[in-house]
């Protein structure tokens, strides 16, 4: 979701609930079905690794073709790199060829109809999307689709509503003439919405009350952008559930990423999950952007464990480490974030399309980023999500792949935080292993010089090597598991028993 407008929506909420004039500040399946996917399983138990398969300004054309063709061409290498699920961008028609999908126009147009000046979406055509998903499924990679359900934009025509004897024209008529009722006969008009944005930063027209009042100290609020769908009306609930099931069947989805859920009526989110995800075993993670852990826990409670949540507080912990660039106290990583508070529902990440976008949240982890990746990819708790832009565009792919494979081979068994060993620069964490996996010892150092500390590890009478290759040589532990564990300056090591 483009986050530049979030402040606009929050500011506008304080104004009149009827007309906000100013503001200080988004049934038939295709003929060629998608190949069946891998057997659905709990990816977090299986040491799975999700990749966000896009970033904000991905090109419409790549050396492999469209973005769908680009992702499909990478299925083999991603599988070999330990990626078990790919989160796709919004696959439906937005406001035009350059819309990256969050400015939703037609949720039933997956690159099939000539609408908004283009047949293809920003990412390609329906046939290319189907081929991409089949390629991913063929390599055992699950597919999660980005479900944007808060709003619609770029209506087909204006409509008029009246307030206090004054008429107002608003763009709220969505009739989809080019699609001609294929897949769905549902059309949208002003009464299906609570209000609509006049223009970015120009306030709101409103004719229905917002679905809910702000909560969590105003961090959750209804109006975000575009024409805000009225989920207090069961008609829109039913239609969006129907669409969710259509998308699932049409694309043979293994899961979902739900956009901007704190801007939607929570009872609707729960109903959608119950009726679309249900007890199928499919995965769901929601973007509920709360920087405060209490707010995260409250939202997890409000959604009753139906959906995982991105660990936003942990991202900001990594951001603080990055900004400190060596001066931050590494003990802040101990028992950190929603991942520690509720591991089974946490999706840990370092950056995403919103944080690494100047027009969005603009909170990228620039310095010491691989320390953050080493942290999430070896952790006992949480389902880690790596970022395409970090992997391919920023040149971190080889190092992330190494950690992915370490996770697959060694990140098992009980974990331990070495609170009596850690200091402002040095952080240690271990996984004890199990009957078939040897475990690991993670060491992070944000200081400029190499460090070594004596630690009683889970590995007795063992010889260990750094599987990342960042530190040469071996460590030999005694009968109690004690050994000296070194790490280079501004670096990470994962020591593994041979």
DSSP 428-489: EEEE---SS---EEEEEE-SSS-EEEEEE-S-TT-EEEETTSSS-SEEE--TT-EEEEEE-T
Number of Cβ within 10 Å of residue 82's Cβ equals 22
Pair 304, 437 in one domain:
no
Percent of the chain topping pLDDT 70: 91
> Does residue 22 register a pLDDT over 60?
no
Pair 306, 437 in one domain:
no
- Give, in degrees to the nearest 5, the angle at Cα 71 between 99 and 371: 95
Which pTM was predicted?
Answer: 0.93
Q: Which CATH number fits the domain that encloses residue 479?
A: 2.60.40.1180
User: Measured between alpha carbons, how far is residue 498 from residues 210, 414, 434 in Å?
Assistant: 60, 19, 15
Mean pLDDT of the chain: 92
Pair 149, 291 in one domain:
yes
Tell me which of 99, 156, 228, 259 is the catalytic residue: 259
Final residue before a domain boundary, out of 275, 295, 310: 310
Model pLDDT for residues 111-130, shown as the tens digit of each residue: 999 999 999 999 999 999 99
Q: Which CATH number fits the domain that encloses residue 104?
A: 3.20.20.80
Model pLDDT for residues 473-485, shown as the tens digit of each residue: 999 999 999 999 9
Judge whether 86 lies within some domain: yes
Phi then psi dihedrals of residue 42, to 5 deg:
-75, 105
Judge whether 116 lies within some domain: yes
287 flagged as catalytic:
yes
> Does residue 415 register a pLDDT over 80?
yes
Pair 303, 423 in one domain:
no
Final residue before a domain boundary, out of 249, 280, 310: 310
Per-residue confidence band for 306, with pLDDT thresholds at 50, 70 and 90: very high
CB 497, CB 459: distance < 8 Å: yes
Judge whether 466 lies within some domain: yes
Q: Domain range holding 296?
A: 3-153+230-310
259 flagged as catalytic:
yes
Phi then psi dihedrals of residue 78, to 5 deg:
-70, -40
CB 90, CB 287: distance < 8 Å: no
Final residue before a domain boundary, out of 291, 310, 329: 310
Domain count, the chain: 2
Both tokens assigned to 104:
């939703």
CA 92/CA 404 separation, integer angstroms: 31
Judge whether 352 lies within some domain: no
Judge whether 449 lies within some domain: yes
Pair 143, 278 in one domain:
yes
CB 458, CB 480: distance < 8 Å: no
Tell me which of 26, 99, 112, 287 is the catalytic residue: 287
Using CB atoms within 10 Å of the CB of residue 99, give its burial: 0 to 12 exposed, 13 to 18 middle, 19+ buried. Answer: buried
Judge whether 305 lies within some domain: yes
pLDDT of residue 41: 52
Pair 434, 297 in one domain:
no
Judge whether 183 lies within some domain: no
């Amino acid at each position: 979701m483009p986050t530049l407008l979030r402040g606009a929506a929050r500011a506008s909420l304080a104004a009149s609930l009827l007309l906000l004039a100013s503001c200080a500040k988004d049934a038939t399946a295709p003929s060629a079905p998608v190949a069946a996917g891998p057997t659905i399983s709990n990816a977090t138990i299986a040491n799975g690794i999700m990749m966000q398969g896009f970033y904000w300004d991905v090109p419409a054309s790549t050396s492999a073709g469209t973005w769908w063709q680009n992702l499909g061409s990478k299925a083999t290498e991603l599988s070999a790199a330990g990626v078990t699920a790919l989160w796709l961008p919004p696959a439906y028609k937005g406001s035009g060829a350059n819309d990256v999908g969050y400015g939703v126009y037609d949720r039933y147009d997956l690159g099939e109809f000539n609408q908004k000046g283009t047949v293809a979406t920003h990412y390609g055509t329906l046939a290319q999307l189907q081929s991409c998903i089949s390629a991913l499924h063929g390599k055992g990679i699950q597919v999660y689709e980005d479900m944007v359900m808060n709003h619609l934009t770029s209506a087909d025509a204006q409509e008029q509503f009246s307030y206090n004897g004054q008429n107002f024209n608003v763009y709220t008529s969505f009739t989809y003439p080019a699609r001609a009722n294929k897949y769905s006969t549902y059309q949208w008009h002003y009464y299906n919405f609570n209000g609509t944005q006049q223009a970015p930063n120009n306030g709101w027209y409103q004719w229905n009350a917002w679905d809910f009042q702000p909560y969590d100290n105003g961090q959750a609020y209804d109006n975000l952008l575009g024409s805000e769908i009225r989920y207090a009306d069961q008609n829109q609930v039913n239609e969006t559930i129907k669409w969710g099931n259509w998308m699932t069947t049409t694309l043979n989805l293994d899961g979902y990423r739900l956009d901007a859920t704190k801007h939607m009526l929570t009872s609707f989110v729960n109903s959608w999950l119950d009726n679309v995800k249900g007890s199928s075993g499919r995965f769901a993670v929601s973007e509920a952007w709360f920087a405060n852990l209490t707010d995260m826990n409250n939202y997890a409670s409000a959604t009753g464990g139906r959906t995982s949540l991105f660990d936003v507080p942990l991202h900001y912990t990594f951001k603080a480490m990055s900004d400190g660039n060596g001066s931050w106290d590494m003990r802040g990583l101990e028992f950190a974030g929603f991942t520690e508070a509720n591991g089974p529902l946490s999706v840990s990440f370092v950056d995403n399309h919103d944080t690494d976008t100047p027009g969005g949240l603009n909170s990228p982890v620039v310095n010491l980023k691989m320390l953050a990746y080493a942290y999430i990819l070896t952790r006992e708790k949480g389902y880690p999500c790596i970022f395409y832009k970090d992997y391919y565009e920023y040149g971190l792919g080889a190092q992330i792949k190494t950690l992915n494979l370490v996770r697959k081979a060694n990140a098992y068994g009980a974990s331990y935080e070495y609170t009596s060993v850690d200091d402002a620069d040095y952080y240690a964490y271990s996984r004890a292993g199990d009957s078939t996996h040897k475990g690991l010892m993670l060491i992070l150092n944000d200081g400029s010089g190499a460090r070594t500390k004596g630690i009683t590890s889970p590995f007795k009478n063992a010889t260990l090597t750094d599987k990342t290759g960042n530190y040469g040589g071996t460590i030999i532990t005694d009968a109690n598991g004690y050994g000296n564990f070194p790490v280079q300056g501004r670096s990470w090591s994962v020591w593994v028993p041979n």
